[in-house]
Structure 1
Amino acid sequence: MRLVRNRLLSYRNQLLPHMQHYYFPVPEQPYLLWFQKPDESNEAFHTDRLGFRFTVSGDRRTSPGTHQGDGPVRLLAGSSSVFGVGASTDAATVASRLWSTYAPAEPWFTFGGQAFNSAQELLLLTLFHHMLPPVSEIVLYSGVNNLVVSRLPEEQQGVHGAHYMGEAPAADAAVPGPAERVQRAADRTAAHLRTWQALATAMGARLVFALQPLASWVRDEPAEQEKKLFAELDKASNFRGVHADIVAMDVGRDYAAALDKRCQELGVPFLDTNQLLASRATPQDWLFADRVHMTDAGYDLVARILAEELELR
């Protein structure tokens, strides 16, 4: 095992040396269960006094804990992909690419916490809403974590859904099939999205739900760098083995369709970034640092897609 781990770290560090600065679990936090450390500074990212990552545009940076000014801001909300796990610097996150290049008219906040489910994403807004300036746009870039934790036992689901600190199912435990997991995750997401919509309406903000990408939902054949990374990561975490029933592209399409239907019922615009990425990326584009988190180039392409599809300026 030691030899395998050393090979993994040496190869991953060769391609993505900054990944050593991303870690989980993050510190415990009342109500949210956990959140990023406040005032953290390392080679990959920096957080404000509240634990939010800074959004960067040139020599400017902003965050919920540091913003000054009366003008409106935009929120990119969600989980670790919003936080920017995989990005080499603060300037490479989706929110930063939107503010610096693709939709710079108003500042963007990186409004996400690592490994959050939809309940935690919603709770983050309710806890920090009183500290926000006026908000004109909310892009909820999410969806994967609810589907991942949908495999946990029913007793851990409760009313608001399971989370990542839950106990893993016993080896002989029955795991719901893909169709049931899609239904469970879509229903849970829609329940929380209803409150997002009510809050956005009260704030005078447009709300959009964008299903974040999973590598195997974007294309069948990964880029060469991704193949090597995924193979070595599988030796350490067995993500594909554990979640083999949901990583198939047809499951991703079913999940997107279920979320789209629920968004239509709520009057919330919906985007599937998986299909949009598939239509724009070339086979050589290295998009993913692991199956969920992206490289600088991947996050940049997502930011461009969001700006174009949502006609953001």
Structure 2
Amino acid sequence: MRVLAGSSAVFGVGATGDAATITARLWHTHAPRLPWLNIAGQSHNSAQELLLFTLFQHELPPVEDIVLLSGVNNLVLSRLPEEQQGRHGAFFDCGPAPDAVPPPDQRVAHATELTIRHLGGWKSLADALGARLTFVLQPLAPWVRAEPLPREQLLFEELDEVSNFRRFHHDISTMAVGRTYADRLAAGCTRLDVPFLDMNVALAEAAGPEDWLFIDRVHCTDLGYDLVARQLADRIDLA
């Protein structure tokens, strides 16, 4: 058994059906040697991702690989004030939207600390289960391409009319912030002896110039998820 864990992108938001999710593409096409189990939920931070796995790990057969595709939600939630962060990070819908957000460096530092702290818990569980753990920074559209495709841009603009993503996250939605975040996460993974992959770089290298990858800035199309699954299989050695 292999496990793919994370939040809404792993859950499959954006896919036209279960067969188009990353987990299904791995199991049926790109890394089919062992079954894959999707352990993910929508709008989870890193603490919730870890908790979800611990609640169900007693029901699992032997696990060979755990791939954690995550990282974006902690950075998104870093906009919230300290009183909403608590000990383990903020949650979605835990309070009103703030009038101001911390600067990008502070947001990256906070998200990195939380992600690596909870990754330490994943590492302890994986070691106890005899499983290989890999952390993958999930793709965010502006971290993959400096400019979206025209059809992606139209979707993003329409979504911006009904959400606060651009207002609150324009400062982290740059290639420079994405690479800084990836570098800090990679350093933390090295300290824990956990392999690291930046899916933003991998997806940018794999995608063609006209490949429609995203339905919004966080969630992929069927093609985008298939390319993510293919890169996981190729770059983590999941044969």
Category of TM-score, reference length = shorter chain: over 0.9
* Identity across matched positions, percent: 61
Aligned letter for 1:255? Y
Quick check: which one's helix share is greater? 2
User: In the alignment, what sits opposite 1:3?
Assistant: none
User: In the alignment, what sits opposite 1:119?
Assistant: 47
User: In the alignment, what sits opposite 1:29?
Assistant: none
What are the equivalent positions in structure 2 for 1:1-313 lying under 5 Å apart?
A: 73-171=1-99, 174-313=100-239
Structure 2 portions without partners, runs of 5+: none
Structure 1 portions without partners, runs of 5+: 1-72
Between 1:174-183 and 1:249-258, the stretch displaced more is 174-183
Counterpart-to-counterpart distance in 2, 1:89 and 1:134: 28
CA contact (8 A) 1:119 1:160 kept: yes
Instruction: Decide which structure has the larger Cα Rg and report it.
Output: 1
Counterpart-to-counterpart distance in 2, 1:254 and 1:170: 24
Moved over 3 A (4+): none
Q: Deviations over 1:128-154 (max 9, x none)?
A: 111111111000000000000011010
Counterpart-to-counterpart distance in 1, 2:98 and 2:186: 33
- Match of 2:216, SS? coil
Counterpart-to-counterpart distance in 2, 1:138 and 1:77: 7
Q: Deviations over 1:187-215 (max 9, x none)?
A: 00011000100000000100000000000
Counterpart-to-counterpart distance in 1, 2:112 and 2:168: 20
Q: Report the CA distance between 1:170 and its aligned residue.
A: 3.8
Q: Report the CA distance between 1:226 and its aligned residue.
A: 0.4
- Match of 1:86, SS? coil
Q: Deviations over 1:151-210 (max 9, x none)?
A: 101011111000102113442xx4211001100000000110001000000001000000
Counterpart-to-counterpart distance in 2, 1:99 and 1:185: 31
Q: Report the CA distance between 1:280 and its aligned residue.
A: 1.6
Q: Report the CA distance between 1:238 and its aligned residue.
A: 3.3
Pairs aligned (count): 239
Aligned letter for 1:165? D
From the superposition, tell whether residues 148 and 170 of structure 1 become closer, same or farther in structure 2 (CA, over 3 Å).
closer
CA contact (8 A) 1:99 1:106 kept: yes
User: In the alignment, what sits opposite 1:38?
Assistant: none
CA contact (8 A) 1:153 1:169 kept: no
- Match of 1:268, SS? coil
Between 1:274-283 and 1:94-103, the stretch displaced more is 274-283
- Match of 1:120, SS? helix
CA contact (8 A) 1:152 1:166 kept: no
Q: Deviations over 1:76-99 (max 9, x none)?
A: 000000001000010000000000
Q: Deviations over 1:266-302 (max 9, x none)?
A: 0000000001111121221100011000000000000
Counterpart-to-counterpart distance in 2, 1:237 and 1:157: 22
- What is the root-mean-square deviation in Å for CA atoms of aligned residues? 0.9
From the superposition, tell whether residues 89 and 169 of structure 1 become closer, same or farther in structure 2 (CA, over 3 Å).
closer
Q: Report the CA distance between 1:224 and its aligned residue.
A: 2.2
CA contact (8 A) 1:215 1:291 kept: yes
User: In the alignment, what sits opposite 1:70?
Assistant: none
Aligned letter for 2:207? A
- Match of 1:159, SS? coil
Counterpart-to-counterpart distance in 1, 2:17 and 2:185: 31
